[in-house]
Amino acid sequence: MKNNDKILLRGGSLFVCIGLLLAWCLIGSYSGVSYVKAVFPGDPQRILQAHLYFLYMGALTLGLRATELPLYWHIKWSMVIGAFTFSGIFLVSAMFPATDPRSDLYMPELKINDIAHYLSRFSFIITTYGFGGAGISLFRYTVSNK
Amino acid sequence: MKNNDKLLFRAVGLYIIFGLLLAWCLVGKYSALPWVEKILPGNPHRILQGHLDFLLMSALILGASATRVRLSWHIRWSMVIGAFTNSSSVIVFAMFPSADPGSEAYISGLPVNNMISFLMRISFIITTYGFGGAAICIFLSTFEKSKLYTEHLKNNDILLLRAAGLYLIIALILAWTLIGKYNGMAVVEKLLPGNPHRILQTHIGFLLGTALILGIAAAPAKIAWHIRWALVIGAFTNTNIFLSFAMFPVADPGSDAYLSGLLANEIFGYFTRVSFVVTTYGFVGSGVSIVKSTFSGTKTNF
């Protein structure tokens, strides 16, 4: 197994599994299944967004793993953590509609929303560092390996 | 580095960065940052589309590169140019709302709009040539008699690569069908009278399915035959549910023409549930097999 493989393979595969699980939650939400509604009382569109992002991130992570490029450990970890937290933001909005700015139940005055706001920005930075770092590494690799 | 890789890797490196840059522009747009608002005054949905397109195209190119199939230089260049122009065309709409047919600010008949429309058609042709060519090469590479046959195929590869090649071709055909639908082509309108959004969903579903299947096929894990078949059948049937909605609006719960209580719709409902189960078995099974392969001494380890 190559040096990249473990973390990216585990991360990418888990994202695919979570994406599929969310597809079932979406069906449950549309079908009005009570326990799904209890867990995700917010907009089902948010579950759909999370489902799609987990699949996109899964495909990208597995695709980048397939390049067999030697990536730094901090870039690999940032990719995996960033992909998870970035996609998870939509799940939080579906679980707690009071934190979803697009929801009628949104409460901007809540302290927790300020924290959620900074956490989501932090997640964007980690995702950018991970995937941006992988993008730059990929580009640099093609320049240094003539 | 394989012969395919240099151009494709370089392009993907850039496209991932573009995708992320657009994500930040989207954050800026929602936060009403004045300079983002100035550069991208159009619909934020167009920025989101551009962001997702760049990520999806990157995943597809990485998947195609991971197959190690020899692709001609013109196919590779078409993939790279097509992926860029196709994804950035929606950004042009975000920059100039008067050119965006989905915007209220759209000014029809402007010469510059006609030119953008013409350039977009050329971009679609290049994208189709690049990705369609790659899809055919990937499909042919699984046949021993083909010149493109790759001897290093692992046991996973033949079925998965064949399916990925076919799905990519279907996705491209659907993209052209969608254009036909938006232009009111009689044949398309007759075949697919439903909501064009359903054709778009099918198109994206096939692209995403292809990218995921190629990523899974490239993983160094042994995947059982029943999981591989479930993956392939599930990805096909699950995506085609949306196409069925476009073909039969009476079966589409999101359509005004939906007829609840129809026996055919009930049967279709059961079919979709079976499809979801098969898809789940395929994708989750593959995911679990790949995770297991990262632990030494397991059966799925190569």
What is the signed CA dihedral for B154, B158, B164, B169, rounded to 10 degrees? Answer: 140
Per-residue pLDDT tens digits for B226-276? 999 999 999 999 999 999 999 999 999 888 888 888 898 889 989 999 999
Q: What is the pLDDT of residue B298?
A: 63
8 Å CB contact of A135 and B294: no
- Residue B96 falls inside a structural domain: yes
Averaged pLDDT of chain B:
89
Question: Which candidate from A56, A63, A132 shows the least CB-CB separation from B17?
Answer: A132
Q: What is the pLDDT of residue B31?
A: 85
- Residue B75 falls inside a structural domain: yes
8 Å CB contact of B1 and A145: yes
Q: How far apart are CA B217 and CA B150, in angstroms?
A: 14
pTM of this prediction? 0.90
Q: Return the CATH fold of A3-144.
A: Four Helix Bundle (Hemerythrin (Met), subunit A) (1.20.120)
- Residue B89 falls inside a structural domain: yes
Could you tell me the pLDDT band of residue B82, with boundaries at 50, 70 and 90?
very high
| Three-class secondary structure of residue B222 per DSSP | coil
CA distance B109 to chain A (A): 36
Averaged pLDDT of chain A:
89
- Residue B20 falls inside a structural domain: yes
Q: How far apart are CA A88 and CA B211, in angstroms?
A: 21
8 Å CB contact of B13 and A14: no
Chain A interface disruption, residue of B10, B201, B212, most A CBs within 10 A: B212
| Three-class secondary structure of residue B173 per DSSP | helix
Helix axes B157-182, B196-218, angle to 10 degrees: 160
pLDDT at B219 over 70: yes
- Residue B292 falls inside a structural domain: no
pLDDT at A1 over 60: no
- Sort out which chain B residues have CB atoms less than 8 A from A20's CB and list them: 279-280, 283-284, 287
Could you tell me the pLDDT band of residue B157, with boundaries at 50, 70 and 90?
confident
User: What is the interface size between A and B, counted as CB pairs within 8 Å?
Assistant: 153
The residue segments making up the domain with residue B49 are 3-153
- Residue B200 falls inside a structural domain: no
Per-residue pLDDT tens digits for B180-211? 999 899 999 999 999 999 999 999 999 999 99
The ranges assigned to domains in chain A are 3-144
Work out the end-to-end distance of chain B between its first and last CA atoms, rounded to an integer number of angstroms: 22
Per-residue pLDDT tens digits for A19-75? 999 999 999 998 889 999 999 998 999 999 999 999 999 999 999 998 888 899 999
- Sort out which chain B residues have CB atoms less than 8 A from A76's CB and list them: none
Q: What is the pLDDT of residue B287?
A: 94
| Count of structural domains, chain B | 1
Question: Which candidate from B10, B212, B291 shows the least CB-CB separation from A59?
Answer: B212
Interface of A with B in 81-120 (CB under 8 A): none
Residue positions counted in chain B: 302
- Residue B138 falls inside a structural domain: yes
Could you tell me the pLDDT band of residue B154, with boundaries at 50, 70 and 90?
low
8 Å CB contact of B214 and A63: yes
Question: Which candidate from A9, A135, A141 shows the least CB-CB separation from B219?
Answer: A9
Per-residue pLDDT tens digits for A82-134? 999 999 999 999 999 888 888 888 887 888 888 888 898 999 999 999 999 99
Per-residue pLDDT tens digits for B265-300? 889 989 999 999 999 999 999 999 999 988 876 655
By C-alpha distance, which of A9, A90, A77, A124 is closest to B218?
A9
